[in-house]
C-alpha cells in the first residue's frame, strides 16, 4: 500500500508562514516516517552511500537521505525552495533542478554556473520556482544521476484549474548500480567499444533505442516483482505525475483498463488529449488524469526496445487480484500520444523567433562520441543569444540514434510549420528528424543544452546556450555564431569555468 509522504520544506513565499504537509504526491514504498526537513530551514538533502531495497533485492548505491527516489520536495509557484545539500559522498556533487526557470547560480551545472560541492562540504540551494508543474532534481556530476541521486520536485499551482481528487507521483528509472557494477564501469565499457547493440530496437524511436539493457526497471524505487501500489477509491479522478529519471531508457506508459487524458508535459499545461499510451524519454514528464474503475490495475512502463518493464499497481478494491506484471496489456499497442497532438495554452505561446540557429546532432566514426555541430563537450558548441529575443533552434538529427535534448533554465516551444506546439524543456528527436525549438531568452546565464541519455552526455553531447559575449577564455565570442561556431577553433579546451567566478558559492 502506498504511504503518503508529507514534506515540510514548503514555503509560500519569503516571510510567509510555511505551508506544512499539503503536498499530495504520494511516493509509494518509501521508508516509514520519511518526513524531510524543517519548516524554518527548508529541506536537507544528504547525499551519501546507502543500501536501498528495490523490493526483493537490496543494492549498494548513492542516494539522498538513504531513500529511492529521494524525498519528494513540494513547493508553490512563486514561492521559494530552500534545500541544503550535504555531501557525504566520496566525490564532488551538485543538485540540478530539472526544468525550473532558475537562478543560474542554483542550477547545479558544474563548470558552467557553479562549482561542484566537495566531499564533506555543503551547499544551500535557495531559489524561486516561478512556474507550477512536475519537475525533478538530480545530481549533474558524471554518471551520478544513474545511481540513486534523484527525486521528485512538485510545484503546486495556487490557482490550480484542473479538477481532480487525488494525485500520485510516478518516478521511472532503469537500474544497474550495485548489480552490474557501477554506472561508471558501464561508461568505461561503452567508451572502449565502437559498436552498438542493435538488437535493442524500436520503430517508435527510429532504430537503435538504447545503449544497454538494464537488470531492473523501477517505479518509485521498486521492481516489478514487489511493486509500488497506489491506493484510491473507485470513481476518484486522479492526477498522475510521471517522471522519467532513467539514464538510457524511454518508457511506453499505460494504465490497464483506462484511457489517460494528458494535461501537462514538462510541467506546462497543454490542450488535453485522451490516449491509451505515451512514450516518455529521459528527462521528460507527463501528467495525466483519469477516473479510476473498481479493481486493481497495472501501471505499466515498458522499456522501449528492451525486454523489460517497470510496473506498479493502482488499487481501488481491497480484494481484487493483483494484475500480472508480464501480461500483454492491449493499451500499450493502441493510440499513442504524438507531439503533434500537444499544444500549449495561448498564454504560454512564445513570440515568433527573429532568427534561426541550426544544431546538428551527430556521431563520430568512433561510435562512442556524440556531437553538436561536430563539437564535443570539452570544446562545446556555444549558441549566443541577447536577452529578450526569441530564437529558433532547429535541431537536425543526423546521427543514427534518437536523443532527448534538454535545455537548462528555459522552457522552449516546439513548433511545426503552420501550427503551434507544446512548451517543453526536454524533447525526443529521432534519427533523420528535424524539430524547431523556439526559445525566449529571458533568463541570462550560461546554460547547458545536452542529450539526457546520460551515456551520450558523458560521451560529448553537451553544448551551451549563453547570453551576450561568451565568457572570456572560451575561444568563442560574438553574437549569433551558434550555427557556425568554432570554425578554425578546434583546439581542445577545458570546460568553461570562468562563469563560476565571482558568484557567491552558497548562501550559508
In three-state form (DSSP H/G/I as H, E/B as E, the rest C), the secondary structure along 306-329 is CCCEEEEEEECCCCCCCCCCCCCC
Dihedral sign (CA 14, 19, 20, 24): negative
Q: Which of 250, 238, 256, 409 is nearest to 324 (CA)?
A: 256
Q: Which is nearer to Cu ion, 269 or 283 (CB)?
A: 283
Whether the CB-CB separation of 408 and 447 falls below 8 Å is answered with yes
Least distance in Å: CB of 418 to Cu ion? 29
Cα separation of 418 and 440, whole Å?
19
Query: Residue 470 is placed in which grid cell?
Result: 561568451
* Smallest distance, Cu ion to C-beta of residue 283, A: 11
Comparing CB distances to Cu ion, the nearer of 95 and 209 is 209
Q: Which residues bind Cu ion (CB under 5 A)?
A: 403, 451, 453, 456
User: Is the Cβ of residue 276 or residue 284 nearer to Cu ion in the bound state?
Assistant: 284
Residue 306 or 403: the one with the smaller Cβ distance to Cu ion is: 403
As measured in angstroms, the least distance from the Cβ of 361 to Cu ion is 7
Closest to Cu ion by CB, 51 vs 193, is 193
**Cell (9 digits) for 161:** 484549474
- 378 by Cβ neighbours in 10 Å (0-12 / 13-18 / 19+) ranks as exposed
Cell of 499: 562563469
Report in angstroms how near the CB of residue 405 gets to Cu ion at its nearest. Answer: 8
Shortest distance (Å) from residue 430 CB to Cu ion: 11
59 vs 451 by CB, closer to Cu ion: 451
- Spatial CA neighbour of 59 closest among 67, 47, 69, 50: 50
CB of 204 to Cu ion, least distance (A): 16
Instruction: Give me the residue label for grid cell 543560474.
Output: 104
Phi, psi dihedrals of residue 242, rounded to the nearest 5°: -105, 125
Cα(first)–Cα(last) distance of the chain, in Å?
Answer: 39
| Contact (CB, 8 A) for 271 and 342 | yes
| Complex with Cu ion: residue 8 or 453, whichever CB lies closer | 453
- Is the CB of 247 or the CB of 451 nearer to Cu ion? 451
As given in the structure block, the three cell numbers for residue 249 are 531508457
Residues in the chain: 508
Cβ distance to Cu ion smaller for residue 403 or 423: 403
C-alpha neighbours within 13 Å on the C-beta side of residue 239: 23
Task: State the minimum distance, in angstroms, from the CB of residue 503 to Cu ion.
Answer: 30
SS3 assignment, position 79: coil
Shortest separation between residue 453's beta carbon and Cu ion, angstroms = 4
Q: What are the start-end ranges of the H helices in 329-460? A: 454-458
Place of cell 495554452: 345
In the bound state with Cu ion, the residue whose beta carbon lies nearer, of 147 and 456, is 456
**Checking DSSP bridges between strand 228-231 and strand 309-315, what pairing results, if any?**
parallel
Closest contact distance (angstroms) between CB of 448 and Cu ion is 14
CB of 2 to Cu ion, least distance (A): 33
Sign of CA dihedral 167, 157, 347, 425: negative
- Cα angle at 299 between 294 and 300, to 5 degrees? 145
Amino acid at each position: 500500500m502506498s504511504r503518503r509522504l508529507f514534506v515540510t520544506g514548503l514555503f509560500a513565499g519569503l516571510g510567509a508562514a510555511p505551508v506544512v504537509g499539503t503536498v499530495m504526491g504520494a511516493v509509494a514504498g518509501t521508508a516509514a516516517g520519511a518526513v524531510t526537513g524543517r519548516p524554518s530551514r527548508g529541506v536537507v538533502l544528504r547525499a551519501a552511500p546507502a543500501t536501498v531495497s528495490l523490493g526483493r533485492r537490496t543494492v549498494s548505491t548513492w542516494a539522498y537521505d538513504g531513500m529511492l527516489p529521494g524525498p519528494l520536495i513540494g513547493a508553490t509557484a512563486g514561492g521559494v525552495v530552500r534545500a541544503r545539500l550535504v555531501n557525504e559522498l566520496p566525490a564532488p556533487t551538485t543538485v540540478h533542478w530539472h526544468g525550473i526557470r532558475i537562478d543560474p547560480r542554483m542550477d547545479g551545472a558544474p563548470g558552467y554556473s557553479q562549482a561542484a560541492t566537495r566531499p564533506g562540504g555543503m551547499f544551500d540551494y535557495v531559489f524561486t520556482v516561478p512556474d507550477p508543474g512536475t519537475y525533478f532534481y538530480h545530481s549533474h556530476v558524471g554518471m551520478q544521476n544513474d545511481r540513486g541521486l534523484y527525486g521528485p520536485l512538485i510545484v503546486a499551482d495556487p490557482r490550480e484549474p484542473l479538477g481532480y481528487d487525488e494525485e500520485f507521483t510516478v518516478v521511472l528509472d532503469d537500474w544497474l548500480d550495485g548489480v552490474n557494477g557501477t554506472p561508471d564501469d558501464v561508461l568505461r565499457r561503452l567508451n572502449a567499444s565502437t559498436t552498438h547493440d542493435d538488437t535493442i530496437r524500436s520503430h517508435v524511436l527510429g532504430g537503435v533505442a538504447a545503449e544497454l539493457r538494464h537488470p531492473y526497471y523501477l517505479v518509485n524505487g521498486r521492481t516489478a516483482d514487489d511493486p509500488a501500489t497506489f491506493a484510491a477509491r473507485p470513481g476518484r479522478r486522479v492526477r498522475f505525475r510521471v517522471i522519467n529519471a532513467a539514464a538510457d531508457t524511454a518508457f511506453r506508459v499505460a494504465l490497464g483498463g483506462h484511457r489517460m487524458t494528458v494535461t501537462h508535459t514538462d510541467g506546462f499545461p497543454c490542450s488535453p488529449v485522451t490516449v491509451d499510451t505515451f512514450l516518455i524519454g529521459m528527462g521528460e514528464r507527463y501528467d495525466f488524469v483519469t477516473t479510476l474503475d473498481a479493481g486493481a490495475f497495472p501501471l505499466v512502463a515498458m522499456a522501449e526496445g528492451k525486454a523489460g518493464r517497470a510496473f506498479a499497481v493502482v488499487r481501488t478494491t481491497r480484494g481484487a487480484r493483483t494484475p500480472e506484471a508480464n501480461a500483454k496489456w492491449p493499451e500499450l499497442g493502441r493510440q499513442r500520444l504524438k507531439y503533434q497532438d500537444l499544444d500549449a495554452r495561448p498564454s504560454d505561446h512564445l513570440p515568433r523567433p527573429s532568427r534561426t540557429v541550426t544544431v546538428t546532432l551527430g556521431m563520430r566514426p568512433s561510435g562512442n562520441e556524440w556531437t553538436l555541430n561536430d563539437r564535443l563537450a570539452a570544446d562545446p558548441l556555444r549558441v549566443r543569444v541577447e536577452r529578450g529575443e526569441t530564437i529558433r533552434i532547429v535541431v537536425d538529427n543526423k546521427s543514427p540514434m534518437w536523443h532527448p535534448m534538454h535545455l537548462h533554465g528555459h522552457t522552449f516551444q516546439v513548433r511545426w510549420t503552420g501550427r503551434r506546439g507544446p512548451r517543453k524543456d526536454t524533447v525526443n528527436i529521432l534519427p533523420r528528424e528535424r524539430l524547431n525549438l523556439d526559445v525566449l531568452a529571458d533568463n541570462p546565464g550560461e546554460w547547458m543544452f545536452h542529450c539526457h541519455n546520460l551515456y551520450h552526455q558523458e560521451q560529448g553531447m553537451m553544448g551551451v546556450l549563453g547570453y551576450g559575449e561568451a565568457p572570456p577564455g572560451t575561444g568563442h565570442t560574438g553574437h549569433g555564431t551558434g550555427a557556425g561556431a568554432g570554425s578554425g577553433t578546434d583546439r581542445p579546451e577545458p570546460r568553461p569555468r570562468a562563469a563560476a567566478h565571482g558568484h557567491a558559492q552558497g548562501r550559508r
